[in-house]
Amino acid sequence: MSKESVYVTRPSLPPLADMLPYLEKIWQTGILTNGGPMHQELELALARYLNVPYISLFSNATIALITAFKALHLSGEVITTPYSFVATSHALMWNQITPVFVDIDPLTLNLNPDLIEAAITDKTTAILPVHCYGIPCNIEAIQAIADKHGLKVIYDAAHAFSVRQGQRSILSAGDLSVLSFHATKVFNTFEGGAIVSPDEASKRHIDHLKNFGFVDEVSVVEIGINGKMNEFQAAVGLLQLQRVDAAIQSRAEIDRYYREQLANVKGISFLHTPADWSSNFSYFPIEIGSEFPVSRDALYHHFKQHDIHPRRYFYPLIPEFEMYRHLASANIANLPEAKKVSERVLCLPIYPDMPREVQQKIVSLILALAQGAEA
Ligand code: T4K
């Protein structure tokens, strides 16, 4: 990665000097992992900040998803979205659960609740929606279907750190929600993740599962895994938390700039913004329609020639990957909205402290193409 290159994101980092006292403490105490003091402090601080009842920290969101399915004893089939990062479905496969892909709502780009019931079979045990780009799913409609059919709901909330609808955190929806704290996310601990639980018993169970199934020194009650976040990650998290509001604010300003500058470009549209939504501005996806002079892919390559690297999240669709193609629900003909969107969306670079000149360069490349200045 050269310094001049512009990537879809650039991770926020706490000042190195602020990190040193935390490192000294780790070195002094010799407590490196296994639910140490910083881990405990971060769990409490995050639960407070996110306004959620209970949270369990993990080494990353993929392991957290795998553990969440195990905690809820899921099996058989789980209904999910084709339009996500591949980890969403991979985590099901690691539990020998078959993903059943259902098309997305073209407005929110999330699992379309109107299509879920038709995909339920006697093997279905849960619904796994994703709040894609932090845009909330239709939580009420999904819960109503789950309640009617006795299904669990696990939200892949990897993009949804701190997102609220009205006054309510969307992370409290469903049975469990899973967050990612990967380097590329709004709040990062280098690698990391978490499960949000509704009650103490669920949290305790998840905490046992992420520690091999140990409940005390000599008792292992379940086949657990090692999903623990270590003290270094937790220290990073504690420092990041002090700055995350400012980081989101800085993202909001870039979001506003892009929207203003690109508002009247024919063939470029922005994503739906629900009225009572408080976004974390984690991504800036634009949809490139047929009225724009070049295709999404041509625009993507044009940017690359200028050493700007937006991303085609999420292309290809998960069901287009080789290991999913054999599934009946992976037939792309039944997923027309997801297919269309995966060929049209481009996520523009957005990250705190992104220089205004870089934002201007990105905008001017798009405007020049729109005005036919560059073929
Ligand atoms: N569910 C959903 C819906 C997800 O989106 C994800 C992850 C997960 C589950 C699983 O969460 P984790 O198990 O990862 O916690 C990235 C991330 O690796 C992945 O976490 C994320 N979603 C996905 C949407 O994006 P890539 O393949 O795009 O990463 P990469 O390495 O190409 O990074 C993108 C750009 O960011 C690079 O071009 C440069 C910049 N970058 C990246 C890293 C890692 C940096 O500047 N510094 C860095 O350290 O997947």
Average pLDDT, the chain: 97
Whether residue 2 is predicted with pLDDT greater than 80 in this model: the reply is no
Q: For the chain, which residues make up each domain, given as ranges? A: 16-239, 244-370
Instruction: Work out the pLDDT band at 3, boundaries 50, 70, 90.
Output: low
Residues 244-370: name the CATH superfamily: Aspartate Aminotransferase, domain 1 (3.90.1150.10)
Q: Which of 152, 185, 203, 228 is catalytic?
A: 185
Specify the residue with its C-alpha closest to ligand 1, atom 39: 7
Which tokens in the block code for residue 65? 């998803």
Q: Quick: pLDDT tens for 118-166.
A: 999 999 999 999 999 999 999 999 999 999 999 999 999 999 999 999 9
CA of 293 to the centre of ligand 1 (A): 30
Give residue 1's pLDDT.
Answer: 42
Ligand 1 lining (C-beta closer than 6 Å)? 7-11, 60-62, 84-85, 87-88, 130, 156, 158-159, 180, 182-184, 193, 309, 311, 313
Categorize the per-residue pLDDT at 375 as very low, low, confident or very high, splitting at 50, 70 and 90. Answer: very low
Q: Which atom of ligand 1 is nearest to the CA of 180?
A: 15
Above pLDDT 70, what percent of the chain? 98
16-239 folds as Aspartate Aminotransferase; domain 2 (3.40.640)
Would you state the pLDDT for residue 373? 60
Global confidence as pTM:
0.97
Q: How many angstroms does the Cα of residue 329 sit away from the middle of ligand 1?
A: 26
pLDDT by residue (tens digit) across 182-206?
999 999 999 999 999 999 999 999 9
Catalytic residue check, 228: no
Residue 75 has pLDDT above 50, yes or no: yes
Given a cut of 90, is residue 374 above it in pLDDT? no
| Ligand 1 centre distance from Cα of residue 185 (Å) | 8
Ligand 1 pocket test, pick from 3, 85, 110 with the greatest ligand atom count within 8 Å of Cβ, gives 85
Residue 4 has what pLDDT? 82
